[in-house]
């Protein structure tokens, strides 16, 4: 209802890192990983926007209305029919590395939109539901997030958690969530270097061969099965012909590591647009897989072994001081 104003004064949002593509699932598959950004949002009577950032991005990202979380928050409030607050205070505690293919921008957008939904009076965990059902649902939130991101794969996983399949039908982004197999284990290898998504996408060819498209189609279908039912099939299921080797000029060290890992039997892929590497394994093989991955990567890569983030974005009430 336009002009009704925010119904709550403070919320906390927790959103996870994501890895998109997962090899053959280009622009469609996403996996939520247990590396989290947490954002506290308070409506203030003091005019203006103030953002404090701890962790990743501190001293680099904007600390005013240009901050991506704030842009998404204001867009979400407008979509929810809320009056724009006079002032906003945000505290961001970031653990998701920026520019590494781990969905940091999608996480920021989803966090801002989820915060707007919470301030508007809906979809807040912790017993604060006031019975209103006119706030943004997940589909509307995904559509707004996709407008920011350009494609829904990372945003879907950040929003819903677990394994997601995203697509666009009739110009509307859609997504479904699947439960990853309980034995599925992930390892991230994160370099110091960054790579902008637009740069990684700019080197992709305008067309691909029928043979490569058919191979990827089959591998993507097999990958869904491997991630949910048969982790022993992860290596063949993660084969890609559409985008990884085509990006080798933009991140040669990443592709060299992916190939070295796969040559040793590990299901390694470029995480999103890179340059991080994601290694997937069956829990029974995880210890050996992680040791070998870390050894092949060397000291120039930081190894992270996150749990899978199954809950999706979490919005909870926050007490006002």
pLDDT tens digit sequence for 7-23: 689 999 999 999 999 99
Contacts by residues 212-218 (CB-CB < 8 Å, ≥ 24 positions apart): 212/241, 212/242, 213/242, 215/24, 215/239, 215/241, 216/24, 216/26, 216/240, 216/241, 216/242, 217/24
CA separation for the pair 219, 238 (Å, rounded): 7
Entry pTM? 0.92
Domains of the chain: 10-177+308-317 (3.30.230.10), 184-304 (3.30.70.890)
- Run of H or E including 236: helix 234-237
pLDDT tens, residue by residue, 154-207: 999 999 999 999 999 889 999 999 999 999 999 999 999 987 777 767 777 788
Percent of the chain with pLDDT over 90: 80
pLDDT tens, residue by residue, 64-109: 999 999 999 999 999 998 988 999 999 999 999 999 999 999 999 9
């Amino acid at each position: 209802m336009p002009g009704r104003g925010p119904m709550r004064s403070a919320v906390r949002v927790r959103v996870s890192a994501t890895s998109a593509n997962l090899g053959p699932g280009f622009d469609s598959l996403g996996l939520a990983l247990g590396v989290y950004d947490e954002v506290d949002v308070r409506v203030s009577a003091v005019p203006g926007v103030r953002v404090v950032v701890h962790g990743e991005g501190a001293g680099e990202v904007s600390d005013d209305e240009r901050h991506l979380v704030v842009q998404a928050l204001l867009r979400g409030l407008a979509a929810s029919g809320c009056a724009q607050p006079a002032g906003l205070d945000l505290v961001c505690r970031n653990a998701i590395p920026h520019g590494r293919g781990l969905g940091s921008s999608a996480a920021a957008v989803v966090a801002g939109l989820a915060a707007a939904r919470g301030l508007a009076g809906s979809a807040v965990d912790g017993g604060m539901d006031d019975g209103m059902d006119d706030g943004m649902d997940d589909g509307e939130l995904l559509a707004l997030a996709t407008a920011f991101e350009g494609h829904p794969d990372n945003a879907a996983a950040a929003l819903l958690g677990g394994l997601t399949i995203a697509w666009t039908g009739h110009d509307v982004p859609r997504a479904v969530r699947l439960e990853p197999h309980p034995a599925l284990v992930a390892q991230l290898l994160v370099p110091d270097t960054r790579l902008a998504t637009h740069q990684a996408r700019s080197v992709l060819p305008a067309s691909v061969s029928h043979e490569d498209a058919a191979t990827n189609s089959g591998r993507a279908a097999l990958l869904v099965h491997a991630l949910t039912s048969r982790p022993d099939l992860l290596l063949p299921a993660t084969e890609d012909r559409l985008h990884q080797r085509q990006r080798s000029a933009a991140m040669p060290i990443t592709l060299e590591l992916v190939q070295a890992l796969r040559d040793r039997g590990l299901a390694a892929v470029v995480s999103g647009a890179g340059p991080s590497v994601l290694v997937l394994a069956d829990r029974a093989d995880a210890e050996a897989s992680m040791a070998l991955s870390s050894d092949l990567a060397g000291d120039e890569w930081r190894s992270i072994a996150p749990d899978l983030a199954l809950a999706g974005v979490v919005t909870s009430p926050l007490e006002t001081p």
